[in-house]
Amino acid sequence: MTQTSLPSSRREFMKKATLATAAGTLAVSGFVPRVHAAEDNTIKIAIVGCGGRGNGAVDQALSTAGPTKLVATADFFADRAASCAEILAAKYQDQPGKIDVPKERQFVGLDGYKHAIHAVGPGGVILLATPPVFRPPHVEYAVNQGVHVFMEKSFAVDAPGIRRIIKAGKLASEKNLKVASGLMSRHSYALDAAMEQIHGGLIGDLVTVWAYREHGTIGLAPKQANETELAHQIRNYSNFTWINGGFILDWLIHNLDVSCWAKNSLPVSAQGHGGRSTRTYKDQLFDHYGIEYRFGDGTTLFAQGRHIDNTWGFFGCKLHGTKGAAILGEGIKEPKIYKTWKTTDDNAIWEHTGEFNNFYQTEHDKLFAAIRNDTPYNEAERSAHSAMVGILGLMAAETGQEIFWDDAIKSDVELAPGLDSMTMESDPPVMPDADGNYPIAIPGQKSVWTAWPPSQSRK
């Protein structure tokens, strides 16, 4: 059997924050046998996906209250599985036994996640930080094995994957397992306080919501000597739509989530555009998106994403209400609320005066507190829906059509058909042509969604 797993990259974790109290999001219905940590109260941890994102998540999990132990690493690339264990062993050398990852528990390949999950066993915690296409099968397997889950964003790249995450999340609740997600902005004390003001009516009814991510170009690492096409694409997962779901999903998901949080709603449809205006790298990545989402009450969310050098940059959300405005979201450390749409300091009427916590740490503190206190904690469905907002935008941009949520969530189009049987020797779902070019969606002409389109006559 070929061993397996995958990479990812996470920004450097910030300074550790005060332990937050646990809070559940889904109630467990009915009596079911409960899953506890080992009798010595040590919670076993394993990581799948040992890039920067995964390594940061491991450190945060190990920094929660109570005894924890890292027992396994897994990655598509052997050097990453090994280096993760080595780096953490050096960091925690003054805590013997904290890092217990011998070479035989450094798993490599596309089924390494299974070995890592078995290494922690029932009641343990698996940290899933691979590219998002692999999230659904990994979450499913962990829940079936009685293991608690931390899943990094994004959570799937297509509607079938989203449905798998939602189904696995419901099973987790039935089994009293905890599921946390990497939408860390939900755990920002400052942003939470701002949302209380928004939902309390400080700026009135929301009229428009704007989500932005504008910055420099995302590069592409060249193919290494003797590297397979699959390995090349996984190493550059941000550049291939079948792996990451495109820039609108993988990079804007946090502020799409914040926008829907502000509205307390999900959009009913989306239309928009995207393309490659300056990009010359041989990959599938659009370098700009502009998506208009429509909510059931007729208001809109406009999401704008661009990664082009020497262009205007902004990373955050803007809210316009009938009584004022707000600037907040991922990328905005200090959210502020204003009495008019003119967001100047003299118009500010609210800013956070409490603690500015490390919300990357808080999301793990809450998960592990819920496990130790045996309280309900499940972010699967909400997180899956936020990812579906990004997928809806991807579908709209690549087709050039208005796409409706009720149709999109039922779509059977898979960006990576046969994913569950893929091995390290498999060809990826997209291959380069003789000139090294990859298939790229052309709005109005061709895309993976072209054979699917629902009726466009809906209003």
Q: Is 13 inside a domain boundary?
A: no
Average model confidence (pLDDT) for the chain? 91
* Predicted pLDDT of residue 52: 87
Q: Is 301 inside a domain boundary?
A: yes
Same-domain check for residues 242 and 176: no
* Predicted pLDDT of residue 39: 56
Same-domain check for residues 128 and 102: yes
Q: Is 398 inside a domain boundary?
A: yes
Same-domain check for residues 226 and 255: yes
**Longest CA pairwise span in the chain (Å):** 65
CA 437 from centre of chain: 28
Same-domain check for residues 115 and 104: yes
Q: Which domain holds residue 453?
A: 206-321+379-410+420-459
Same-domain check for residues 438 and 304: yes
Q: Is 305 inside a domain boundary?
A: yes
* Predicted pLDDT of residue 455: 55
Orientation of helix 135-144 relative to helix 159-174, angle to 10°: 20
Residue 445 buriedness (CB in 10 A; 0-12 / 13-18 / 19+): exposed
11 pLDDT exceeds 90? no
Reported in sequence order, the residue ranges of 330-438 that DSSP labels E, i.e. its strands, are 336-338, 348-351, 403-404
Instruction: Supply the DSSP symbol for 117.
Output: H
Cis peptide before 154 (omega within 30 of 0): yes
Same-domain check for residues 299 and 441: yes
Residue 389 contacts residue 155 (beta carbons within 8 Å): no
- Residue 101 to residue 88: CA distance in whole angstroms: 10
Paired tokens of 110:
């596309």
Same-domain check for residues 147 and 243: no
Residue 250 contacts residue 155 (beta carbons within 8 Å): no
Same-domain check for residues 426 and 315: yes
Same-domain check for residues 148 and 78: yes
For the chain, how many structural domains are there in total?
2
Instruction: Tell me which residue of 235, 225, 230, 238 sits closest to 79, measured CA to CA.
Output: 235
Specify the pairing of strand 403-404 against strand 288-294.
unpaired
452 pLDDT exceeds 90? no
Instruction: Tell me which residue of 253, 252, 223 sits closest to 236, measured CA to CA.
Output: 223
Q: In what order do the strands lie in the sheet with 325-328?
A: 348-351, 336-338, 325-328, 314-321, 206-215, 300-307, 288-294, 269-275, 403-404
* Predicted pLDDT of residue 4: 35
Q: In what order do the strands lie in the sheet with 148-151?
A: 106-108, 68-75, 43-48, 125-128, 148-151, 179-181
83 pLDDT exceeds 60? yes
* Predicted pLDDT of residue 35: 43
Same-domain check for residues 142 and 290: no
Residue 320 contacts residue 299 (beta carbons within 8 Å): no
**% the chain with pLDDT above 70:** 90
Instruction: Supply the DSSP symbol for 451.
Output: T
Kindly report the CATH number assigned to the domain that includes residue 137: 3.40.50.720
Q: Is 26 inside a domain boundary?
A: no
Same-domain check for residues 227 and 284: yes
- Residue 9 to residue 54: CA distance in whole angstroms: 7
Q: Is 118 inside a domain boundary?
A: yes
Q: Is 349 inside a domain boundary?
A: no
Q: Which of the four pLDDT bands, split at 50, 70 and 90, describes residue 53?
A: confident
Q: Is 12 inside a domain boundary?
A: no
Same-domain check for residues 298 and 424: yes
pLDDT digits (tens, 9 = 90+) for 327-347: 999 999 999 999 999 999 999
Q: Which of the four pLDDT bands, split at 50, 70 and 90, describes residue 18?
A: very low
Q: Is the dihedral of CA 109, 115, 120, 121 positive or negative?
A: positive
